[in-house]
Chains A and B, each alone.
Chain A
Amino acid sequence: MSDHSYLPAWREQSLGRRLFLRVSAASAASVALVAAGCSSSTPEPVAPDPFQLTLPSGDPGLLYYAYLLAIAQATTYQKVVDAPPTDLTPAERAIFADLRDHEIVYREMLKYAIDPTGANALLPTDFAFKLTSFTLTTRAGVLAAAQQLEDLVAAAYPALLQLVTSSNPQQRTLLLKMSTVHARHAATVHDLLVPGSFANNDIVESTGTLAGQLRTKTPTEVLAALAPFFAPFVISAANLATPI
């Protein structure tokens, strides 16, 4: 609990600013603790989950969502660049250096978009994308991890773009510009793992009226897939609209 140094910053926001993950559960915990100290007659508080992070609604929530995706990818590729497997070829290392750079640009830019002042912590200090379930010590493991992440993020963006409002056209266009670079990443990593496996039927609809279109995933689906990596934190997209 004491790790949550973001709470004071959050409290400083006077207007319910759009910046922060809603930390009502954690706030409720703090309040409950104070109340418990004051009086034993306080109604039994519902056990709040300090690890529950709920994305804000609307465009701010979507920016946060994109920020989390960039954190996932940047963390992974930074590790690959820092400690590349010995069997990863020089050409492949150059590609991963690019992937790392792109994702750093996204992560830092989205952080700026969420909080231009840079004065606030956007996430709990102990929040991290955990790499333990990846095998980043072999080429095969690195490519498998990258493919899993890139397919997920490529599938996330068209659904995200459908939900972004036109209230800030530049911001929406920026996300649109990023979406195809993610699609390029996905195809690139596919082709490294299995040449010619770009845009195959696993990632592109093959039948019906959507044939030839990318298979997409909703924020809830994407966050469910990433849940083991963000544990113990649980990220909820309940406030985001559902793509139709």
Chain B
Amino acid sequence: MKLISLLDHLAAAPADQSAAPRRAVLRQVGSAALAALPLGLGASLPAAADTKDTSYDAVTQLLLLERLQRALYTRALAAPGLIPLTQLADFQRLRLHQDQHVAFLTEALQAAGAIVPTEPAFDFSGRRGVVTNPVLFPNVLSNFDDFLALAQQLEDLGVRLYKTQAFNITNDSQLLKAVLRIHAVEAQHSAHVRSLRRGRGVAVKNWPSDTDAAIVRPAAAQVLTTAATGGEENPIQNLKAGMPIPFANFLLIRDNTAVRDSALSEAFDEPLTTTVAQAALNLFV
């Protein structure tokens, strides 16, 4: 339950507040949550309970994502012969960025006096540490194509999760600034991994597209595909609530403003729900 968990996660405040500008922010969130508690305990609470909409929840979920990505690249770089020599530098850069993002988010939590969750022991087979469970992601650390497919999905998931969480950070402009910048770096990562896959013969664009070849997963792992690209085919965008933009009125052959059908959905990267994101992340912990 998010309100309680937020309060639980706020560690006892050290005496020195001056060195921790973010502390006040998360405390403020905590206070707001506390103030809202009587109302929050009403009928609407269960529906809201799995919605991560506080700064603390946003940062911890993003930290889990970044740690997962860092672990994938760390293990891939350590797996003999998995990554071709010509691409080693690319994945060292990806790993470095994820490591920097982990450090930043960790520091943000520490500066806020919040508890930093322990890093889980990630299992990229999808067996969640239980050897009798079925393997959901075969060969990701032994076959480069299988590795790239997973890397692409996790990078796409990352882009979408930052998109979802960015504006949940409402009280800290510096944190929002950083999240928006990291959001863009994740997109560059995804575009690069997609380039590598296309170079190896996969029909895939640098941006999620209706024309991309599907990454086939067993049913138990389908939530990862949903989290990575589910809903990307959405051709409807709203400028205001409930008011779809009438693209058909102004994307016209007559005006040389017509575009291919797939371009419309390609032009917008979609967010996802934090629930779906968490379900996908949980496949690896």
By a beta-carbon cutoff of 8 Å, the part of chain A in contact with chain B is 78, 95, 97-98, 101-102, 104-106, 108-109, 111-113, 118, 154, 157-158, 161-162, 166, 168-174, 176-188, 191, 196, 198-200, 203-204, 209-214, 216, 243-244
- Are B250 and A177 interface neighbours, CB within 8 A? no
Cβ–Cβ contact A211 & B100, under 8 A: yes
Beta-carbon contact of A166 and B267 below 8 Å: no
Contact, CB under 8 Å: A199 / B89: no
Chain B residues whose C-beta falls within 8 Å of the C-beta of A113 in the assembled complex: 239, 245
**Structural contact, B181 and A184, CB atoms closer than 8 A:** no
B18 within 8 A of A: no
Give A188 to B266 CA distance when docked, in angstroms: 14
* A108 with B250, Cβ < 8 A, contacts A101-B260, A177-B270 known: yes
Compute how far the CA of A109 lies from the CA of B112 in the bound complex, rounded to whole angstroms. Answer: 40
**Chain A-chain B contacts (Cβ-Cβ < 8 Å), number:** 188
Contact of A102 (CB < 8 Å), options: B184, B241, B256, B266:
B266
Question: Chain B contacts of A112 at CB under 8 A?
Answer: 239, 245-246, 250
Tell me, in angstroms, the Cα distance from A97 to B189 when the chains sit together.
22
Q: Which residues of B contact A97 (CB under 8 A)?
A: 260
Q: Among the listed A173, A187, A216, which residue makes an inter-chain contact with B206, where contact means beta carbons less than 8 Å apart?
A: A187
Contact call A198/B237, Cβ cutoff below 8 A: no
Chain B residue contacts of A101, Cβ below 8 A: 259-260, 263, 266-267
Interface pair A118/B180, CB less than 8 Å apart: no
CA of A180 to CA of B22, assembled, Å: 26
B237 touches A174 (CB 8 A): yes
Within 8 A of A (CB), among B220-265: 237-241, 245-247, 250-251, 256-257, 259-260, 263-264
C-alpha gap A172/B264 in the complex (Å)? 18
Which stretch from B119-127, B130-138, B190-198 is at the chain A interface?
Answer: B190-198
* Closest chain B residue to A204, Cβ basis: B185
Chain B count of residues within 8 A CB distance of the other chain: 60
Given A105-B247, A158-B184, A176-B166, residue A184 in contact with residue B264 (CB < 8 A): no
Residue B96 lies at the interface, judged by CB distance under 8 Å to chain A: yes
Determine whether B268 belongs to the interface, using a CB cutoff of 8 Å to chain A: yes
Besides A183-B187, A184-B206, A212-B97, 4 other CB < 8 A contacts?
Answer: A98-B266, A170-B239, A191-B192, A199-B185
* Secondary structure type dominating chain A contacts: helix
Chain B residues whose CB sits within 8 angstroms of the CB of A243 once the complex forms: 177
- A171 CB → nearest B CB, Å: 6
Give bound CA distance, A195 to B97, whole Å. 18
Q: Sample 22 A-B pairs with CB under 8 A, ordered by A number.
A: A98-B207, A102-B259, A106-B267, A112-B250, A113-B239, A113-B245, A158-B181, A162-B180, A168-B240, A173-B167, A176-B167, A177-B237, A179-B184, A182-B184, A185-B206, A198-B192, A199-B189, A204-B188, A211-B100, A211-B104, A213-B182, A214-B182
Across the interface, B268 reaches (CB within 8 A) one of A104, A178, A186, A213, namely A178
Q: Does B271 interact with chain A (Cβ within 8 Å)?
A: yes
CA gap between A213 and B206 in the complex, in Å: 20
